[in-house]
A = this chain, B = another copy of it.
């Protein structure tokens, strides 16, 4: 299957370029009868759109979603749900100089190698603008998850070497949106913003880490062997532009623990009806054991490299092998993290929704 679809039963296909007609997505497999809050889809897009704050790209796209199909009297019909946003604030002239040399850290060189040529306007299909399609689809997935009382909350847990110190369980995640850097630890957020502004003024960029938590997922999601829940999450996250790493639960740090420390001990309580209810006393596993959710919070982290587009002159080469100097132009983000928060949430929502549907067939 070609690369522009994601998911098995709740399956999305995205299309569009940063400087073409627009960006769209088709969801195939949304169960019928879901009341779709189209305004909520728009709000998720607003969280991702450029120009939303002083620390994001000044490109000014309204990103207004149009529903092209699949809705009837406000409900999903079982038919494909197509959504589209027309591009508006295009300035292809900004990119004319990019015909020449390959921008370091970008997909210019590899697209040329793979396809023989490329749409050089703003990166074409490799532009992060493509992620708007994911956010639209993810917004629908979130509504389906909400009916099962599953909620997803991501936040920026580090920018460069400024890290949130508290575990997520000590944070008030409802405050994430209150800072423009989407970090729920107020003083850390302030330092992050300060750093991003400094870096922006230097024409440089900076990376960081997003932590994502899914609350309320029932035990049983995930398909052995190759579609373990963490495998699908990892694939989803590493498909996001600029993502360089993924870890679930204890992650890389867990490699330094002993098994006797790392194992999450099971405990049982009795619910009001007299039935046993199970949980683990710790959550090093990140809510997934043997590839299947265990009912605990699903917790993972995603690393993002610093944005490749600089407002500095960079040396590169062109197709003929000649050295060229690329001027830093265009409108870009000094730090992708704040706008990546809704993208991480969207991809998480898509994975969980897909597994919710897959899991309906676990038993006879």
Contact = CB atoms under 8 A, between A and B. Distances in A.
Contact of A104 (B158, B254, B263, B276): B263
Report the interface size class on chain A.
35 or more
A273 interface: no
A14 interface: yes
A72 interface: yes
A22 interface: yes
Contacts of A363: 31-33, 78, 115-116
A22 B116 CA distance: 34
Given A17-B69, A107-B292, A321-B270, A32 B231 contact: no
Given A106-B289, A238-B228, A248-B245, A72 B119 contact: yes
Contacts of A297: none
Nearest to A276: B321
19 contacts: A15-B82, A16-B82, A31-B362, A32-B115, A32-B117, A78-B114, A79-B125, A113-B292, A126-B224, A147-B364, A207-B255, A207-B256, A207-B262, A208-B255, A225-B239, A226-B235, A235-B238, A254-B306, A268-B321
A276 to B, nearest CB: 3
A201 interface: no
Nearest to A162: B256
A78 B363 CA distance: 8
A331 to B, nearest CB: 15
A225 B4 contact: yes
Interface stretch (A43-51, A171-179, A180-188, A312-320): A312-320
Nearest to A35: B364
Given A3-B226, A262-B306, A289 B110 contact: yes
Interface in A135-177: 144, 147, 158, 160-161
A204 B258 contact: yes
What's the number of copies of this chain in the assembled complex?
Answer: 4
Nearest to A86: B68
Nearest to A125: B79
B364 A357 contact: no
Given A114-B362, A245-B245, 14 more contacts: A4-B224, A15-B70, A31-B364, A110-B294, A113-B219, A114-B292, A116-B363, A126-B291, A130-B225, A160-B256, A207-B254, A207-B255, A235-B235, A265-B316
A335 B246 CA distance: 22
Interface string A332-364: 000000000000000000000000010111111
A160 B254 CA distance: 9
Given A68-B20, A125-B225, A246-B234, A310 B259 contact: yes
Interface in A222-243: 222-228, 230-239, 241, 243
